[in-house]
Chains A and B, each alone.
Chain A
Amino acid sequence: MHSDRRTLLMKRLNKVGTYAFLTLLLLIVLFPTVWVVGQAFMPEEQILKWPVQIIPREPTLDNFIEIFTTKLSRQELSLFRWLFNSLYVTTLSAIGVLLVTSMAGYAFARLRFPGKQLLFFGLGASFLVPGVMLLIPSFMLMRALGWIDTHHALIWPPLAGFFGVFFMRQFFLAIPSELAEAAVIDGASAFGIYWRVFLPLSRPAVATLGIFTFLFIWNDFTWPLVVLNSDEMRTLPVGLVVFLGEYWSYQGIVMAGAVVSSAPVLIVYIIFQRQITRAVMATGFGGR
């Protein structure tokens, strides 16, 4: 009896400890975020106060107006240009990745052809090649193609990534073959079965892969830094770092830039958090 009450007490204490720990972690994650957003809406005089201010006393949009209207370089660009570049490159590349890798994934999942196993593992071996080893050869390839400082350099190379093939294959494998057989009897061609049966059925997988690709390309830093060198071509993350060099002393403007740059990915994340979480847990890939 006595020991029962003790274990119950222990259990309660453990629960309290668990929540205390998680709340601490949550605050560590949230606090810098709140501070950044606060500073983005703060007039510069308040930012300069010590100790650090968290909540803007007179919230202002000045910092945002400044980054969107000021000419950021000799070419007279505004942040809109980089926002547009990022959206453009990311969207085109993601569509390409979805088309190309879902077709390859379909072949590996549903069609029989000689050399399939060997090919799958051969392509999969590309997972083992570290990114840093590809940096210089890929740069030289872009030079040879005349793609330095063009958006081609950002749009096309992601289509070679094996993750999409692997991911779509897993999903296509799980679709019952009765559906495909029905389509064959209805006289559908091989492409018709893929396009009208399998692709619509795998809408959740396509969406998840699309989100992963979007996040990956949107957030990439090293590659666009290497292959793009004019201000008007840059993507937002790189542009932000370059631009902030000039505005480094105005903290409110810097923070407004950080907010503008992360808003799109955070919105995508919050809308699709369930799919993202599930895909990360199932595949072991983190979306970056």
Chain B
Amino acid sequence: MKSIPAATDSGRSSNWALTNKRREALAGYLFLAPYLVFFLVFLAGPVISAFVTAFVEWELLRGTYRFIGLENFQLIMEDDLFWIAMGNSLYFALMTTAGNVVVALCAALALKSIRLGHTLFRVVMYAPVVLSISVIGIIFSRLLAPFGLLNAGLELLGHKGFDYLADPNLVLPSLSLTTIWWGFGFPMLIFLAALYAVPEALYEAARIDGAGRRQILWRVTLPLIRPALLFIIVTQFIAHIQVFGQPYIMTNGGGPGYSSYTIVLHIYRNAFSYYHMGYAGAMALSLGVVMFVFALAQFRLLGRYTEY
């Protein structure tokens, strides 16, 4: 396509248009080709293999690899640790998602209503999101230690404090609070974007109709940012049910006992400590199904009046 030929006779011109179209299509495929290669090898391949692995007995140490149908899933049914871990992960995900949504929504509503200091507040509150879980884990296992920062603060108030990470009842809520501290800045920004998108005229109209602040929040603001709420609830739940780094780093892989033993820890341990690849794969697929069902339920419950 070095130069555009002068279209003197109509026949040549239409012929040229055809090859031009082909050239563009060829260019399109060529531009896509490198990405497609990576996509097929590192994403599509593993996705297919994830489904196959779940139905295979695959012992890396013994070198066995054979198709066993649903046997892995029968094993899951009898695996007490799987159910304990699944319960812990669900509890953690629900708590963390709820906490994050409430804190982030309040922060976004507050941020939207101020001008002075807006950037400072926003920049600081999002900053923890860019930190690695290893840093967060290291800092908070110190902060929540018996002689850590939090108990030092409680002592000032005259309370003897808690052993947050060693108490079976406190450990998951503590990991959840850590995670909220780490991540609420992200849903906050999403809510803020949604709040800015609500036309100011709607608030005006509500105010003229005599609506109070609370009424405006429940009748105008929340219904209008419903798509953002739904998006955050679903994606946060999916992210937090896969919790791994927090207990891996902060509670020595799920302690005390199995109080903070999560499903991804169980998968990790089966795959990379015992090398039961097939069994671990079946658990990962089961978790995928659980996430899918929950996401669907959340769409049904919350998305009824949402239009996409």
Contact = CB atoms under 8 A, between A and B. Distances in A.
Contacts of B39: 123, 126, 160, 162
A218 interface: yes
Interface size on A, as a range, is 35 or more
Interface size on B, as a range, is 35 or more
Interface in A104-119: 104, 106-108, 111-114, 116, 119
A14 B53 CA distance: 57
Given A107-B28, A138-B46, A29 B287 contact: no
Interface string A84-101: 000000000000000111
A284 B291 CA distance: 20
B305 interface: no
B53 A136 contact: yes
Interface string B195-227: 000000000000000000100000000000000
A261 B183 CA distance: 18
Interface in B105-150: 106-107, 110-111, 113-114, 117, 120-135, 137-140, 142-143, 147-149
Given A130-B242, A137-B46, A139-B272, 5 more contacts: A113-B25, A132-B264, A160-B41, A190-B27, A257-B138
B267 interface: yes
Interface stretch (A62-70, A200-208, A234-242): A234-242
A215 B133 CA distance: 12
Decide if the interface of chain B is mainly helix, strand, loop or mixed: helix
A51 B186 contact: no
Given A51-B155, A190-B27, A258-B138, A157 B3 contact: no
A52 to B, nearest CB: 4
12 contacts: A22-B107, A35-B143, A100-B35, A112-B24, A112-B28, A114-B25, A133-B288, A137-B47, A219-B130, A255-B139, A277-B122, A282-B193
Contact of B277 (A129, A136, A157, A265): A136
Given A133-B284, A134-B50, A265-B130, A22 B24 contact: no
Nearest to A273: B123
B244 A222 contact: yes
B288 A104 contact: no
B178 to A, nearest CB: 10
Contacts of B103: 25
Across the A-B interface, the 8 shortest Cβ-Cβ residue pairs = A113-B28, A137-B46, A104-B35, A281-B193, A107-B31, A237-B134, A52-B152, A160-B42
A253 to B, nearest CB: 11
B281 interface: yes
B133 to A, nearest CB: 5
